[in-house]
Structure 1
Amino acid sequence: MSAAFPIAIVTNSVTPAPETWQALDALEEAFIASGTAVERIHAVDDATSYGRLTTDNSAVVYVVDPRALRGDDEAPMLALREFVRVVRGQNERLPIYLFGEQLTARRIPVDVLSEIEGVVNAHEDTPQFAARSIQREAANYLAKMAPPFFKALIHYADDGAYSWHSPGHSGGTAFLKSPVGTLFHNFFGENLLRSDVSSSVKELGQLLDHSGPVADSEVRASETFRADHLFFVTNGTSTSNKIVWNSCVGAGDVVLVDRNCHKSILHSLMLTGAVPIYLQPTRNRAGIIGPIPRSEFDPAEIRRRIEAHPFIEDGDATPRILTLTQSTYDGILYDADEIKRTLDGHVTALHFDEAWVPHAAFHELYAGMHAVDDRRERTTDSLVYATQSTHKLLAGLSQASQILVQDSETRHLDRDIFNESYLMHTSTSPQYAIIASCDVSAEMMRGVGGRALVEDALTEALEFRRAISRIGRELPEGDWWFDVWGPESALSDGALQREDWLLRPGDDWHGFDGSVDDGFTMLDPLKVTLTTPGLSVNGEFADRGIPGPVLAKYLAEHGIVVEKIGLYSLFVLFTIGVTKGRWNTLIAELHRFKRAYDQNAGLRLVMPRFVAEHPEYRGRRLRDLCDEMHAAYREHDFANLSTDIYLDDPEMTMLPADAWAAMIDGEVEHVPIAELAGRTTAVLLTPYPPGIPLVVPGERVSELIVEYLRVESLLVDEFPGFSGDTHGLASDGTRTVACIRE
Structure 2
Amino acid sequence: MNKNKTKSAPYYNIGQLRVDYWNKLKIETTELTRCLKGSEEEISHILNVKELLKDLKVVECFFAFPGKERLQKLENAFASNEYASLSHLVAATTRQLLGDSYKNNPDSINSNENKLELIDENEPQQNIRKNHFEVLFVDNITQEEEGKLKHNLRTLQTPNDNFSYGVVVQRSFQDAMITLLFNHNIQAVVVRYAPPYHSKLITPLILPYIEEVTNLDYSSQPETDLGPIIGELIKQLRPELDTYYVTDSSLGHLKDNTIKGFRRIFYQSEDIQELHLTIMHGIAERYSTPFFSALVEYSQKPTGVFHAMPISRGNSVFKSRWIHDFGDFYGRNMFLAETSATTGGLDSLLQPTGPLKKAQEMARDAYGSLNTYFVTNGTSTANKIVMQALVKPQDVVLVDRDCHKSHHYGLVLAGAYPVYLDSYPIEEYSMYGAVPLQQIKSKLLQLKETGSLDKVKMLLLTNCTFDGIVYNVERVMEEVLAIKPDMVFLWDEAWFAFAGFANNYRQRTGMFSAKKLYEKYKSTTYRKQYNEHINGLKEDEQSILPNPDLVRIRVYATQSTHKTLSSFRQGSMIHIWDEDFRRKTENTFLEAYMTHTSTSPNYQMLASLDVGRRQVQLEGFELVEKSIEMAMVLRAKVNDNQQLSKYFDVLTVHDFIPDEFRQTGINEYYTKQEGWNRMNEAWEKDEFVLDPTKITLYIGKTGVDGDTFKNKYLMDKFNIQINKTSRNTVLFMTNIGTTRGSITYLINALLKIADELDDEFKALNDKEREIRAAKIHSLTKEFPPLPDFSYFHHSFQSLPGVSGGNLREAYFLAYDEENYEYIPLNDCLSLIDTGRKLVASTFVIPYPPGFPVLVPGQVVSEEIINFMTALDVSEIHGYRADLGLRVFKEKVLDRHKITTSIGGMSIDNIKTD
CA gap of 1:119–1:96, structure 2 versus 1, over 3 A, is farther
Is 1:289 aligned to 2:459, yes or no?
Answer: no
C-alpha offsets along residues 286-318 of structure 1, whole Å, 9 cap, x if unaligned?
1232121121232x641314656xxxxx52424
- 1:191 matched to 2:333? The reply is yes
Give me the whole-angstrom Cα distance separating, in 1, the residues matched to 2:854 and 2:448. Answer: 20
Quote the residue 1:355 is aligned against. Answer: 494
Q: Distance in 2 between matches of 1:727 and 1:444?
A: 38
Task: Tell me, in whole angstroms, the C-alpha distance in 2 between the residues paired with 1:225 and 1:352.
Answer: 14
- In the alignment, structure 1 segments of 5+ residues that lack a partner are 1-8, 17-40, 69-75, 80-90, 98-104, 121-129, 309-313, 504-517, 535-543, 603-619, 716-722
What is residue 649 of structure 1 aligned with on the other side?
790
One-letter amino acid of the structure 2 residue matched with residue 328 of structure 1:
T
The aligned residue for residue 634 of structure 2 is: 464
Code of the aligned partner of 1:451? F
Structure 2 SS opposite 1:230: strand
RMSD of aligned C-alpha atoms? 3.9
TM-score of the pair, normalised by structure 2: 0.61
- Contact 1:490–1:500 at 8 Å: present in 2 too? no
Alpha-carbon contact 2:430-2:786 (below 8 Å) kept = no
Partner of 1:24: none
Residue identity opposite 2:433 in structure 1: G
2:649 is aligned to 483
Q: 2:679 aligns with which of 473, 487, 498?
A: 498
Deviation of 1:494 (Å): 5.5
Q: How does 1:71-150 map to 2 (within 5 A)?
A: 94=132, 110=146, 113=149, 118-119=154-155, 133-138=158-163, 145-150=287-292
2:821 aligned to which of 669, 683, 690: 669
In the alignment, which residue of structure 2 is the partner of 1:729?
Answer: 879
1:322 alignment partner AA = L
CA pair 137-648 structure 1, distance change in 2 beyond 3 A? closer
What is the CA–CA distance in structure 2 between the aligned matches of 1:321 and 1:727, rounded to whole Å?
27
Match of 1:702 in 2: 861
Contact 1:247 1:421 in 2 (8 A): yes
The alpha-carbon distance between structure 1 residues 351 and 316, as it changes in their structure 2 partners (threshold 3 A), is closer
Q: Distance in 1 between matches of 2:638 and 2:563?
A: 24
Deviation, structure 1 residue 436: 1.1
Distance apart, 1:711 and its partner CA: 4.1
Q: Is the 8 A contact 1:353 1:386 kept in 2?
A: yes
Check conservation: 2:728, 2:779, Cα contact below 8 A: no
Secondary structure class of the residue paired with 2:419: strand
1:340 partnered with 2:477: yes
- Cα pair 1:240 1:387 within 8 Å, conserved: yes
**Aligned pair partner of 1:44 in 79, 90, 93:** 93
State the Cα deviation string for residues 692-740 of structure 1 (Å, max 9, x = none).
110111112222322333344xx5xxxxxxx44211113xx61423322
Maintained 8 Å contact 1:550/1:626: no
Q: Cα gap change, 1:560/1:109 in structure 2, threshold over 3 Å: closer, same or farther?
A: farther
Q: Which residue of 2 aligns with 1:547?
A: 705
Tell me the CA shift for residue 400 of structure 1. 0.8
Q: What do residues 298-352 of structure 1 show as CA deviations (whole Å, max 9, x unaligned)?
A: 2x641314656xxxxx524241111100011110111111112122344531110
Check conservation: 2:700, 2:779, Cα contact below 8 A.
no
Change (3 A) 1:376 1:582: same
Give the Cα separation in 2 of the matches to 1:64 and 1:622: 71
CA shift, 1:255, in A, is: 0.9
* 8 A contact 1:199–1:429 mirrored in 2: no
Comparing 458-467 with 667-676, greater Cα deviation is found at 667-676
Pairing partner for 1:582 from 711, 734, 742: 742
Q: CA deviation at 1:440?
A: 1.3
Letter in 1 for 2:708: V
Max radius of gyration: which structure? 2
SS state at 2:310 partner: coil
Give the counterpart letter for 1:521 in structure 2.
F
1:419-458 superposed matches below 5 A: 419-447=590-618, 449-458=619-628
For residues 306-705 of structure 1, the aligned pairs below 5 Å read: 307=449, 315-344=452-481, 345-373=484-512, 376-378=516-518, 380-408=551-579, 414-447=585-618, 449-472=619-642, 480-487=646-653, 489-492=668-671, 497-499=678-680, 519-534=686-701, 545-553=703-711, 554-557=713-716, 558-600=718-760, 628=771, 631=774, 634=777, 640-641=783-784, 643-645=785-787, 647-653=788-794, 654=796, 655-666=806-817, 667-676=819-828, 677=832, 678-705=837-864
Give 3-state SS (helix, strand or coil) of 2:159's partner: helix
**Identity percentage over the alignment?**
26
3-state SS of 1:644 partner? coil
Structure with the larger helix share = 2
CA distance in 2, matches of 1:700, 1:739: 9
- Corresponding letter in the other structure for 1:110: E
- Residues in 1 aligned to 2:699 and 2:386: alpha-carbon distance in whole angstroms: 39
Tell me, in whole angstroms, the C-alpha distance in 2 between the residues paired with 1:501 and 1:624: 48
> Quick one: which amino acid aligns to residue 92 of structure 2?
A
Shift of 1:61: 4.5
Q: Which moved more, 1:318-327 or 1:379-388?
A: 379-388
CA distance in 2, matches of 1:267, 1:192: 34
What is the CA–CA distance in structure 2 between the aligned matches of 1:10 and 1:60, rounded to whole Å? 13
Quick check: 2:403–2:462 contact (8 Å CA) kept in 1? yes
2:300 to 134, 147, 158: 158
Contact 2:670 2:677 in 1 (8 A): no
On the 8 A contact 2:366/2:613 being kept in 1, the answer is yes
Instruction: Name the aligned partner's letter for residue 640 of structure 1.
Output: F
Q: Match for residue 239 of structure 1?
A: 381
Q: 1:181 to 1:587 in 2, by over 3 A?
A: same
CA distance in 1 between counterparts of 2:773 and 2:322 reads 47
Q: How many pairs were matched up?
A: 608
Contact 1:13 1:43 (8 Å CA) reproduced: no
CA contact (8 A) 1:685 1:695 kept: yes
Calculate the TM-score normalised by the size of structure 1: 0.74
Query: How far, CA to CA, are the matches of 1:366 and 1:416 in structure 2?
Result: 32
Instruction: Please tell me whether the aligned partners of residues 230 and 402 of structure 1 are also in contact (alpha carbons under 8 angstroms).
Output: yes
Partners of 2:690 and 2:570 lie apart in 1 by: 25
AA matched with 1:686? I
1:147–1:571: structure 2 CA closer, same or farther, 3 Å change rule?
same
* Partner SS, residue 480 of structure 1: helix
Amino acid across the alignment from 1:62: I
SS of equivalent to 1:94: strand
**Mapped partners of 1:336, 1:115: distance in 2:** 47
Per-residue displacement from partner, 1:141-172 (whole Å, max 9, x unpaired)?
Answer: 99764411111111111223232222221221
Conserved 8 A contact 2:102-2:108: no
Deviations 1:353-393 (A, max 9, x none): 00011111111112421110276222741410000011111
Unmatched tracts of structure 2, length 5 or more: 1-64, 74-89, 119-128, 136-140, 165-279, 522-550, 654-666, 797-805, 891-913
Is the 8 Å Cα contact of residues 95 and 116 (structure 1) preserved in structure 2?
Answer: no
Q: Say if 2:703 and 2:779, in contact at 8 Å, map to a contact too.
A: no
